[in-house]
Structures are given as structure tokens and as C-alpha cells.
Amino acid sequence: MDILMAKVETFPFYLLSVKVIQARHIPSRDLWTSSDCYVSLRLPSASNKQMMTKVISNACNPVWNESFHFFIQAEVKNVLELKLYDEDVVTKDDLIFMVAYDIAKLRPGETICEDLLLNRQGPESLEVEFKMESICGGFESIATNGILTAREISRLDIKMDKWKNEECLKNNKNIELVVKESFEEAQAITQESESVTFHCVKNWEPKLEASMKSNSFVGKWLGDAATECPSVLLKSLPAGEETKVALSLSKDAELELQLQVNDCLGDLDVRLGCDLCGAEQDFLSKRKNVVASALKKVLLLEQELQGHEVPVIAVMATGGGARAMSAFYGHLSALQKLNLLDCVTYLSGASGATWTMRSLYEDADWSQKDLMGPIHRAQEYIARSKSSAFSLEALQRYDVELRQRAREGHSVYFTDVWSLIIDRMFHDEQSDSKLSSQQQAVTQGQNPLPIYLALNVKKDTQSTCEFKGIWSNIFSLNLKDVHHLYKSWQWPFPDQEKDEACFIPPMNRSSIFNGILTSRPIGEKKPNFLRGLQLHKDYYQHKTFSMWQDSKLDQCPNSLTPQEKELFLVDAGYFINTSCPPLIRKERNVDVILSLDYNLLETRFNSIEQMGKYCLDQDIPFPEIALTEEDRENPKECYIFEDKENPEAPIILHFPLVNNSFREYKKPGIRRTSADTAKGEVDFTSLNSPYRMTNLTYTEEEFNKLINLSDYNIQNNRELILQALQTAVERRKASRKQKQLQST
């Protein structure tokens, strides 16, 4: 982590006591008797554990008077979840109500008794007493950027001499070392194990336990551990020193371990800064020289542009399978022919457009070479049969590759298989290149910086729309997303002043049905690099934190990404088929976006219109996307969208995939001959169009038509592009002058 980007300060932590007193007017969930109630408590900013009261049987007004304790840090967002359940012996316990309580309203030394409403339409309530006390000597150092917070972490390194423990390991299977408060939680120990490591928040008072999990069917079904063993409190160990301990697994079995605990706040690997990373800033410094030189040539400038006068130009490509991959080559080729490719700083892609980027960036100097070579190779791959990708030999290679990934500790999903299939379809041999190897293509600023767009969604939330508003894709589609596509919807903006929120869950049958509807079988799980960080107490008030107006989750910190064990990544090319979001990040300060849209007739303007609505909703500078019925019926080759009143909004040049004057002109200003007329007919509209999403194979003629059309549409609108670039330069100069006047 770039620790200089975050403040490191020392703050006290406190003891929070929560006394669950009683519930009132709880409706029966059973046919003949009242509910058998208990309350669970979860405060993920203070513990990984879920605590529970005892069960009060057959009671509408159950009384518990049970107390629970948490060590809390007041500088992070602490939201306690209290869930009221009805215990069932046979089926899963019914969740009746849930209430979330923000601890921020408590002050040290205060005791507050709250009667929490469980149902805003009914009398149900839960009486809880909260008390916060100072702890003598209770301080910790935290690093924060105002949104995310890193707390003091203890690292427990465990070494095991497998020869000394040989007999114990041989006679006792299924041994686990457990630190419930850690991020790893539990790790299996075998005869091959030599060392394991746990990481946990220091002030959660973690302890090490050893257990033998049951190997019986009943034990697995009940989720019980057959044997519980003594524990070691980590804070009792001397910091930085190795300590030998013996954990008894049974009367005759003892596990000998060497333990060492170290604090590691200053050794974080995640950058907490909100600005662009140092590597990107270094790239921009180098690329600016390339762009300045290119702009001087194409705009016929008399003088070199100063650093602050150089606009940031981006190319944005949507998804669209093989159609996007092919057309993107044509667009880039045209930009190169017009000497505009060196004017581009960022190149972003989604879905099929990234297949083009993946191939190009294997060559460290691709934009400085004639693109006809990569285009001819792409033509060869797309024209050949794809059956070899499903041959026995190919399947065997996929199996070897996936097994290797699994051995290296990676989870394997359908998208891993799909990526290998796509790689086989469009390349001669399976490539061993990695995304990190593409760094060679940007080290000197010689090519635009590539941005591959993926989307992190919440797995099994009600719908993609509920999680994040507008992002989904055809591979992660669930049935409720389909419903959202065909109805207008508005979500209420969460009330920032609320200290508590209640939720009434559906009945069990509805829950099961909801699970079927919301299942996303095709997604990619990756380790969550934010896990372990916590949200600052005022995270949602920070100027760089975006509140999603169509989602309630942004004010439910227990549901946000840092709490997830894994990221759930999907392709962003379905609901809004765009790669624009990274380009409108304020820190990138993009002046012009060449929007290359590979949607067909029925969705031709959807992406740009939805992007405009999204930016309007989130108060992000973006020009109004105003289209007439004539535009929809007879779209032009290029549209310019500009907000002349707001220079912070990028100028958008939108290129829909249309076949207009290309029918009559094979090149700008050069008419087709009668013998050449057929080459101008590119079918995007009929049901038999070769460019439909599901088609991954084109004939050479079909591929060439798409390449030539894309090339032509860019070249035929050269003057509009140059006009936008000129405007961007003038904006930059005017902005500089305005700042100088303001400073004087």
C-alpha cells in the first residue's frame, strides 16, 4: 500500500455491551403454536462471529435479558445487525425480522435503551440496551483515506515439524487449525503441511484452536466438529518471538507447533489513495509527449502544446462478440491511417472488443506498426471452423490447464473454460501470456493505456439492478434481471439520517423461488483484495465516494465489498454494453471520448443513452444525449454530444454501427463502380445477418466488409474528429487562463 496516500493516526477503542432484553408482539410462524424465538447478533467490524441468544419457546413476547460484548473502533462504521428467528427442528430456521443499528450515536460512558421497530407497518419491536465503555490503555493505529480504513493486523505464523508430529498426524485425520477472528478462519493440517499463516485484527483478541472435524455423514450434515481442543490467546504470546506450544487433540494425541505473532500495519499491499496510481501517472507523463507531438501534426499547430494544454483523448469500445472484435480492428486501422491513434491516451473495451485488445497488446509496439498484419491474422481465425475448439485434443488441453490452475490454489469456473475456448478459436496455439505481460506495451507511453472492463456484482442479491443499478451481462443474467429490462423502475434514495433500518424477509417458499431467480451460474470469483479493510465512519460523505441512487446497499456497510470473501466478476456487456465507466472517473480528466458502438439495429443507441442517464443520476459531468426520431430511424455515421456550459463534461463522438454512404463510396470521396456495388452491402438488419451475436465465424468476404465499413466510417468523419480535438485544446487553454485569473 502507498501509505503516504492515507493518514496514520492512533485512536482509542472501546468495549460495547449489547443487552437483548425482550421482543414484543411477534407473530406466529407456525400453525398451532407461537414462535420459538431467538436473536442473532452480527457486528462484522468487530468480529467474524455471529452470537445468539437462547431460544424462548412458544412466546409472542419473549424475554431474554442476555448481554454480549464487542471490542469496537469508533473511527470505523459499526452497524450491528440483529435478526429475530423462529427456530425449526426439521427445516431451516425462519428469519422473521432484521434490524440494523448504527453504533455511531453512542458515546463513551453512555447507556442507551432502544425500542427498535421491527416492522414499520406493525407493532413488532425489539428492546435492546447499548453501553459503550472506555478501555484502559486501549489504543490502536489506523490508516485511512476517509473511505477505507486499515486497522492494526496481527500475523500469526505457525511452523510444524512434521517428523515430530508424524504419529499424531498419521493417527488423526481431518485436523484443522482455526482462528475464528482471522480472514482465513480455518486451515487444514496434513502430513505435508509445514507452515500456515493467519491474519486478523489485533484488537479482536484472536485465539488459536485446533479441532478434528467429523468424517461421518451425520457429522458433516450437522456441521459439527467431533473434538474441541484447548486454545491459545494470541495476545498472550510475546510479539516477534517464537513460542513452542502443544495442543492436545485427545488424551493420546498432541500437536507440537511453533508460533510467532507480529504486528503488520505498515506492511499493507493495498493502496488507499483515491488518486490514480503512481504507475498510471508515470504513463500519462510519457504518453502526453506522444499525444502533444501527434496533435501538433494533425491540427497543424504552429507551436508545441504545453503540458497543461494537452487534452486526454479516449477510445471506448462496446462489446458485441466477434462483430465487436472485427469492427474494432477496422476502427483502429482508420485512426492509424489518419495519424490519430497517437493522439489517444486510453483504450477501453468490454466483452468482444477486449479480444482485439488482448491480441494487439501482445506486441509491445503494435500502434507503431501497420495494423494490416493483425487484421489478416484475425481474418484467418474468424473464417476458419471453430469445431477444433471442442475436439478431444482441445478438451484434454483445457483439462490440463484447469487442473494446473486448481493446483496453484485458484478457483476454477465456467469463465475459465470459456476463456480457453475463445483463445483456441482465435489463435493458433494456447497462449501463456498474462495481463501483466502487457505492461511492456506501455512502459514508454508508446501505446494507449488499455482498460479491460469487468464488473463486480453481489452474488445472489435480488437482482443486478438492486446491487448496482445498471450493470449486468448475458452470462450473469438472472430471471429477475430480465424482468427489470422490460419495466421502468425507480429505487428510493436511502435516508442518510436514519440510524436503523428494518427488513421483513419472505417466507421460506418465496426464499427458495427467489434463489432460483437470482442464481448467476456463470461468473468469476476472485480473491477480494479489499478484504480486511473496513469502512470509515463517514465513508458515504467523502467527496470521492459515489452514492448509488438506485441501490440501498451503499448505506449498508456490512453488505459492501470489503466484507466479501471474494469478488464476483462478470462481463459488463449486457445491460449497458459499454466500457465508458473507467473513462469518466474524475481523476482521469478525459476531454474527448470516441464512442464505438457495436450494437445492432434494435439496441443501436441504448448504451450511450443509458450511460447519459447514469451520469445524470450520479451527478457526473456528461453531455446530454439528445436524439430525434429521425436519428433512430435513419442514424448518421457520427454524432457529437457536447455540453458547452460545462467544460468538465467530455465531448462524445458516437459512432453507431451503420451502413450509410459506404453503400455508394468505397473510400471518402471515391464512388463505387457498378462492379463494386456488392461490397457496399453490409447486412445488419435481417434475421439472416452474419453479424448476429451468436455467430463466431465469418467468411472472408463478410469479415472484409465489416473491416472496410468501420474503417470508412471513421475516415469519412475525419473533420468532425479534428473539430472535437481542436475544441478540447481550446478548452484546456481557456481553463488555464481562468485559473490564473482566479489566482490573481
Task: Indicate which residues carry an active-site annotation.
Answer: 351, 571
SS3 139: strand
Sign of CA dihedral 691, 693, 695, 700: positive
How does DSSP assign 427-475, residue by residue?
SSS-----GGGGGGGTTTS-SPEEEE-EEE--TTSS-HHHHHSS---TT
Q: What Å distances lie between residue 541 and 60, 102, 463, 547, 619, CA to CA?
A: 40, 15, 26, 9, 15
Contact 258, 244 (CB under 8 A): yes
CA angle in degrees (0–180, nearest 5) for 502-505-509: 175
Contact 551, 493 (CB under 8 A): no
Q: Closest by alpha carbon to 572, among 487, 470, 694? A: 470
* Interatomic CA distance for residues 360 and 419, integer angstroms: 17
* Interatomic CA distance for residues 182 and 438, integer angstroms: 35
* Interatomic CA distance for residues 667 and 712, integer angstroms: 6
699: which 3 cell numbers? 467468411
Residue type, 527: P
Phi, psi of 686 (to 5 degrees): -75, 160
198: which 3 cell numbers? 493467519
Residue identified by cell 493458433 is 428
Residue type, 536: H
> How many Cα neighbours within 13 Å face the side chain of 374?
24
Element (H, E) at 154: strand 153-159
> How many Cα neighbours within 13 Å face the side chain of 35?
23
Contact 553, 562 (CB under 8 A): no
Sign of CA dihedral 550, 551, 552, 554: negative
